[in-house]
Structure 1
Amino acid sequence: MPQAEKGIYTCEELDRQTSVQHRTFDLQLVNVIGSHNEYLLEGETLELTMNSSDTVSSMKIEWFGPRKTKVKGSKQRWTLENNDRILRIRNLTVQEDNGMWECHILPSGPILFYDVKVIGFLKALDVEMMFAAVNSSVILSYELNANLQQAKRLPESSVLIWKPTEDTMAPGTKIPVIANSSYVVKNISNVHFENAGWYQCQLKFRHGYLNKTIHLVVMKVSAQPIRPLTEEGDVTLCCQVSAPFPPMALLRWEHMNDTKEAPNPAENKFCFQTRTVGLWNCRLLVKNELKISLNYTVEKPPSTEKEFPLLQVVLGAGVPLLLLILTSVFVAFCKIIKQKRQRARRMVLAKQHLLAKRTCQCQKSLTNDYYHA
């Protein structure tokens, strides 16, 4: 189909009587053009213009946003100019401006559409807090509203930069956008207390860049003296949060039914002394919402009670008993040897008497010394 051009068009129509009927149409072309023909970034300004070949000023125009919100008059973020033919939108946002805008030509004109593509974070561009405990892992992540791999009009040289905001001279860590098409990610695998602070995410494009500032809050717990609990003194438990302390926040120590809390602790640290052993839990709450939780166990002091020396008693009683048994056996053995020796002497004496032919007279008054032999 050839491209339409404005002008007067005549249509000839033949009826049954072969008469010619002429109809004339005045074709006017209208469309919406934008000041940018590529992806826009949050915070930029876009100007939409209803372009028409008709210069009649009586044409009435109405604009509607992607959420079907009617644009009425001049507001802080938009203005209408040139009999509402020009709509200027300032400080573009993903939440309100990304999508299809409509231009209605009244009373019976067409509805014109213009697709506004805004790239930005799904969350508002403000300072956001993220929370982490020492020795844990944290992912500084923000989701973009668009898949950059599928964006056709983005430069390939776009990079993502993460850097602490305090060190403005640091070049930051550059990550190609193609490495992650829809998420802005920085991973800290082992969080230290010194990792706390502000981080700036900067997404660069050909005609601008996006910034996102993140405040990482880190919490740690400690004890003095280090566990276990001593017999002489208490243990001091401390829970510390990196500065500045989050607004409307408090630190709370919990143990079974015991609770201690500090809404505005000095130097962002809440310490107290205790002799209660067991598991203590420190919590950081912001607007009554739990953000970080860390445990610390106070161990029992070493036991001072002497255990019953069963082995020593057994050994102590066993050695004398063994000696007693050995002594008894030795005494009995010696007695048996002595008796055998006495019997041997008597046998020798009897043999001697027999050899000497001595006659043993049985007399009542005499004792027979050989009877036992």
Structure 2
Amino acid sequence: RSDIKTQYKLSVRDLKLSDAGIYTCEYGTHKVHTSLHIVNLTISLDGHFLQNEVPELILTQNSSSPLPDLSITLFDSNNNRVTPEIQNRSRQKYIVNLKKLKTVDSGTWVCQIHSDSPLINQNISFAVKVLGFQNPDLERKYAIVDSPVILSWDLNSQKIKWKKGFTGQLNWKQQEGVESHELLDFSITAEGQLHETKKSNNLLFEIPESIPESTIQVKLPKVHFNHSGQYQCQLEYERRYAQSKIELVVMKVSANPAGPLSRGASVTLTCQVSGPLAPNAYLSWEPVNGAKMDIKNSKQREVKLEVNISTAGLWSCHLIEDGDKKISFHYHVEGASVWINNVIIGASIGGSLLAFALGCLCIISGVSWQRRRQRAKRMAQARQHLLENKTCQCQQ
């Protein structure tokens, strides 16, 4: 592993800790001594991690001289200084634990070591790849009942050029403590090709076409209230796991009694969302137009809010979180007179259309009958004319 480059230069390749020591160059009666101090840095799992895993760095040094006390400083892939947790601090070996990794931590890190005596200032670069989801660990998505919704998870495997295959699955459960249902499983090859297999018939969903590679996506074409719950996408690599959850919150509105609002009567509107909600979330009923009533709010984290109204108009139920309207359901309460007028107008239009259709049918039938009558008359005249011709011939 060594070559003499010139008369006075020695090159050693693939240094090992055991190569540390004193090297002597002799030239005639002259001797020159050089001390070689070797530092080795290794990272656990060969630098390939899943999100939320904690890497372990091992820094080892060897020298023929007394080993110095090293100062260790780390910089992440964004050049931010990281304060490590040193588990073992013998002068020969330093074991350092880093923070929990996020997908944005992928890239080149730098370990900076320093010593005053002997003077050491050395930067050691090492690569870190963090496989996971570009979604948060937990996010909420909101939908109105009977509307479509798309749930999507973006993997970063292509972005960080992850060259190893892995698998995963998508599970759904309505609430904690109940059995989960596997919706689909997937695999991504070392070349980055995604393969998906639909597994469940308990939930009507579609796998959209023409989606980007490394994206797991399902579409619920018509959300039902009981489709709410946790949708967990989980990936597996070498028996290690990472996951990201989407909490689907569904809103519905009902009226009791249903139908038009009669004069002097009242109706109860119920707005309900699937729980649980965030600690600072609440429901709010708001009149939009035609209705004269103050806004009514629920207590925080309540999943149902009722309001009694006696005025027709448009009402909106909002789910508000941190002052933002996350989702709104607009419900129109019609008055009986409006409803009756609509029925009369509809009946009039329907009757007119029916009369018009019957008139057209009568005209068509009359024209057809007239044509048949004229055709029969012409045929009778032709027969009479033919008969007269035959009679003339016999008389001659």
Task: Specify every segment of 5 or more residues in structure 2 that has no aligned partner in the other structure, as ranges.
Answer: 1-10, 195-211, 346-396
Alignment partner of 1:220 out of 229, 252, 261:
252
Taking the aligned partners of 2:261 and 2:49, their CA distance within structure 1 comes to 62
Letter of the 1:43 counterpart: N
Task: Specify every segment of 5 or more residues in structure 1 that has no aligned partner in the other structure, as ranges.
Answer: 14-18, 308-373
Residue 37 of structure 2 corresponds to 28
Letter of the 1:44 counterpart: E
Taking the aligned partners of 2:125 and 2:33, their CA distance within structure 1 comes to 28
1:300-337 alpha-carbon deviations (Å, 9 max, x no partner) = 32367999xxxxxxxxxxxxxxxxxxxxxxxxxxxxxx
User: What SS does the corresponding residue of 1:190 show, helix, strand or coil?
Assistant: coil
Question: 82-91 or 113-122, which moves further after superposition?
Answer: 82-91
* TM-score normalised over the length of structure 2: 0.63
Taking the aligned partners of 1:25 and 1:267, their CA distance within structure 2 comes to 76
* Residue 128, structure 1, aligned to residue 139, structure 2: yes
Say if 1:50 and 1:103, in contact at 8 Å, map to a contact too. no
Say if 1:135 and 1:190, in contact at 8 Å, map to a contact too. yes
Q: CA deviation at 1:254?
A: 1.8
Taking the aligned partners of 1:21 and 1:283, their CA distance within structure 2 comes to 90
Letter of the 1:32 counterpart: L
Q: CA deviation at 1:112?
A: 0.9
Say if 1:133 and 1:220, in contact at 8 Å, map to a contact too. yes
Distance change >3 Å, CA 12–CA 135, structure 1 → 2: farther
* Residue 174, structure 1, aligned to residue 209, structure 2: no
Distance change >3 Å, CA 42–CA 261, structure 1 → 2: same
More strand by share: 2
Alignment partner of 1:234 out of 254, 262, 266:
266
Say if 1:40 and 1:118, in contact at 8 Å, map to a contact too. yes
Residue 125 of structure 2 corresponds to 113
* Residue 162, structure 1, aligned to residue 166, structure 2: no
Taking the aligned partners of 1:142 and 1:81, their CA distance within structure 2 comes to 41
Alignment partner of 1:286 out of 298, 321, 325:
321
User: What SS does the corresponding residue of 1:231 show, helix, strand or coil?
Assistant: coil
1:263-291 alpha-carbon deviations (Å, 9 max, x no partner) = 22897221222233232211110121111
Letter of the 2:97 counterpart: I
1:79-107 alpha-carbon deviations (Å, 9 max, x no partner) = 35324942332662216854414132333
* TM-score normalised over the length of structure 1: 0.66
Say if 1:248 and 1:286, in contact at 8 Å, map to a contact too. yes
Say if 1:121 and 1:145, in contact at 8 Å, map to a contact too. yes
Distance change >3 Å, CA 81–CA 281, structure 1 → 2: same
Residue 352 of structure 1 corresponds to none
Q: CA deviation at 1:135?
A: 2.0
Q: CA deviation at 1:166?
A: 4.9
Identity percentage over the alignment? 28
Residue 362 of structure 1 corresponds to none
Residue 297 of structure 2 corresponds to 262
Alignment partner of 2:61 out of 35, 52, 59:
52
* Residue 71, structure 1, aligned to residue 83, structure 2: yes
User: What SS does the corresponding residue of 1:37 show, helix, strand or coil?
Assistant: helix
Say if 2:272 and 2:303, in contact at 8 Å, map to a contact too. yes
**Root-mean-square deviation (CA), in Å?**
3.6
Q: CA deviation at 1:49?
A: 1.5
Question: 49-58 or 131-140, which moves further after superposition?
Answer: 49-58
Say if 2:234 and 2:242, in contact at 8 Å, map to a contact too. yes
Say if 2:89 and 2:95, in contact at 8 Å, map to a contact too. yes
Taking the aligned partners of 2:106 and 2:95, their CA distance within structure 1 comes to 15
Letter of the 1:87 counterpart: I
Residue 139 of structure 1 corresponds to 150
Say if 1:250 and 1:261, in contact at 8 Å, map to a contact too. no
1:162-192 alpha-carbon deviations (Å, 9 max, x no partner) = 2326543644421234436544433323211
Distance change >3 Å, CA 122–CA 43, structure 1 → 2: same
- For the pair shown, the structure with the greater C-alpha radius of gyration is 1
Residue 101 of structure 2 corresponds to 93
